[in-house]
C-alpha cells in the first residue's frame, strides 16, 4: 500500500535549535509539496518540487527555512534557527505527473512544537 512517509511524527525543540523534517514520497511520483498548517493560517504551501528541482518556494521564509530533494526518494525541510512561531504541523505530499488525472497523497504530518 503506497504512502508518503514523514519523520519525525512529533518534535519538541527549544527555540534556536535546528529542525530537519524528512519525507519519502510515493515511488514513481515526481512532484513533492511541503505544506504548513496552523490554526491561524490554515494550510499553506511552503515549497514545491518537480523532478527534484524546486519550482516554487515563495511561501517559505528564506532566512530560516530551506527545502531540498537530495534524491528522488527523499525530501527535506530544514528550519534553522527555529522560533516559537514555527510551531505547526508540516505536511509533505507527493503527486504523479501533472495533468495525469490522479490525485495527490499526503503524509501523516510532522507535529512541531518550538518552546
Q: Which residues pair with 103 in a beta bridge?
A: none
**How far, in Å, CA of 113 to CA of 111, rounded?**
7
**How far, in Å, CA of 24 to CA of 37, rounded?**
19
Q: Which of 44, 73, 113, 115 binds another protein (CB under 8 A)?
A: 44
Q: Which of 35, 67, 86, 114 binds another protein (CB under 8 A)?
A: 35
| Residue window 58-97: x/- pattern of binding to another protein, with contact defined by CB under 8 A | ---------------------------------x-x----
Q: Which three three-digit cell numbers place residue 33?
A: 509539496
Give contact residues for another protein (rule: CB under 8 A).
33, 35, 42-45, 48, 56, 91, 93, 98-99, 101-109
Amino acid at each position: 500500500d503506497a504512502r508518503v512517509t514523514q519523520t519525525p511524527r512529533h518534535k519538541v525543540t527549544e527555540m534556536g535549535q535546528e529542525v530537519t523534517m524528512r519525507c519519502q514520497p510515493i515511488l514513481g511520483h515526481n512532484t513533492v509539496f511541503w505544506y504548513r498548517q496552523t490554526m491561524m493560517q490554515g494550510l499553506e504551501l511552503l515549497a514545491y518540487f518537480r523532478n527534484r528541482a524546486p519550482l516554487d518556494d515563495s511561501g517559505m521564509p528564506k532566512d530560516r527555512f530551506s527545502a531540498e530533494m537530495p534524491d528522488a526518494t527523499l525530501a527535506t525541510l530544514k528550519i534553522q534557527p527555529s522560533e516559537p512561531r514555527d510551531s505547526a504541523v508540516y505536511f509533505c505530499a507527493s503527486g504523479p505527473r501533472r495533468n495525469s488525472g490522479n490525485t495527490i497523497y499526503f503524509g501523516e504530518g510532522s507535529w512541531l512544537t518550538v518552546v
